Amino acid sequence: MANTKERAIIDNWEFILSRWASAPVNPAPARHPARPGGGQSLASPPADAEIEEEKMTLTNYWWLLIWLAVAGIALTMLFPKKAMLLPGQTSSVGQWGWPACIILALPYVVWAMNRTNFGDTEVYRQIFADVPSNPVQLPEYLMGHTKDQGFSVLTCIVKIFVGQNDHFFFFLIAAFQMFCVIWFFRRYSNYFLLTFFMFVASTDYLSWMFNGIRQFIAVCIVLLSYKLILRKRYLPAILVILLAATIHGSALLMIPVIFAIQGKAWNKKTLLILGVILIATLFIDNFTSILDTVLAETQYSDMITNEIWTTDDGTNVFRILFYSIPAVIALVGKRYLDEADDPAMNIFANCAVVTSAFYILSGATSGIYIGRLPIYTTLPGYVVCPWLIDRMFTKDSARLVRFGLVAGYLAFFYYQMHMAWNLI
């Protein structure tokens, strides 16, 4: 498959991100997320020969939450939490052990492995089939595929070991992604189950492990660098980010971000980012001209002028408000963040601000391109929410606030899955 044609197909199949960002309230009925602006579904009904295989896939999306609730309760009872000193904490907290985490996460990996006709899945299935399994042929293949070559190399390596079995290909990718998410939440969150629930109920799990997997591999690699970022070991952290950028070039965004998020929550550097974003939103025509110039010599040189950007109406306001919840909580709880002066929570609070800022910008520009950037800082924002709730409220009040947070995320899950994507 020609390089330009293949990349164009990927970019268009990743249109699910525009539905993820700017879906109308009442889309045309579709079995899987529809193309932006209506039209045909990205997924087509399975042929008779595929029906048997479909039985192994996730066909009822309520199971995403049902399993989380049932397994969460059962695992809490069966596996006692272990005392663990989290970074920046002065006392140990009860944390889930790895066996319980693996049991909880395993179905999500299996569902991601067995998905069919969801988003850009079939495009990546075809890419896997086209990538050579012989390392000798890889240099020639890379000459015709110059964009994000790290992913091509990774695919070739996987194919050497698993052959033509694309299910194992998706399994290994999902297992790596889920390991990174679990590792990050377990290491930094004082309320692992709630943080993992936010990841699933926000539909980030579906949006990034069923679709957009190339970028989410890069996101997960960046997650592993936060240990270095907290210690201000910038050179090794940048090297990790550069590695992630070989998988998806958007990871380069994190190089300036890792400096901006250092310091106290809502500090001047973070506010500067927010201010620049707001100014760019007010003068969007000038911003797009500058962006077009900056990207002129990169693999995204045609981003501003292509049809996807020009027809994209940006992230919808409801999504912008929803993903600003962690930033608002961090703003309300700034006094508690300042008193604790926890480097990890300060950074994660600032990540929440960056997430909100980029979503605001994507609302005025492109939900497809700009709207995919906040995922690099979204997950750290989930970590700071339960930490702040425990410190801002008494024990009984905190329980009620957590209940309200869960109710809000459940409402968004229903909105996104039913009204926007028509999946349930």
- pLDDT band per the 50, 70, 90 thresholds, residue 106: very high
Task: State how far the Cα of 74 lies from the Cα of 203, in Å rounded to an integer.
Answer: 23
Q: Kindly list the domain boundaries of the chain, sorted by start residue.
A: 261-392
Residues 249, 298 contacting (CB under 8 angstroms): yes
Give the per-residue pLDDT at 82.
82
Instruction: Copy the structure tokens of residue 82.
Output: 């272990």
- pLDDT band per the 50, 70, 90 thresholds, residue 32: very low
DSSP string, 331-386: HHTHHHHHHH--HHHHHHHHHHHHHHHHHHHHHHS-TTTGGGTTHHHHHHHHHHHH
227-277 pLDDT, tens digit each: 999 999 999 999 999 999 999 988 998 999 999 999 999 988 888 877 877
Task: State how far the Cα of 323 lies from the Cα of 274, in Å rounded to an integer.
Answer: 15
DSSP string, 230-255: HTT-HHHHHHHHHHHHHH-GGGGGHH
Lowest average pLDDT, out of 2-16, 122-136, 336-350, 367-381, goes to 2-16
Answer yes or no: is pLDDT of 291 > 60: no
Give the per-residue pLDDT at 285.
53
User: What's the length of the chain?
Assistant: 424
- Buried b / exposed e over 239-248, threshold 16 CB at 10 Å, is ebbebbbbbb
From residue 225, how far is each of 122, 130, 231, 378, 390 by CA, in Å?
31, 32, 10, 15, 27
Which of 98, 255, 248 minimizes the C-alpha distance to 173? 248
Task: State how far the Cα of 379 lies from the Cα of 290, in Å rounded to an integer.
Answer: 29
Residues 316, 363 contacting (CB under 8 angstroms): yes
- pLDDT band per the 50, 70, 90 thresholds, residue 280: low
* More confident: 147 or 251: 251
| Residue 95 β-bridge partners | 82
Helix (H) or strand (E) holding 83: strand 82-84
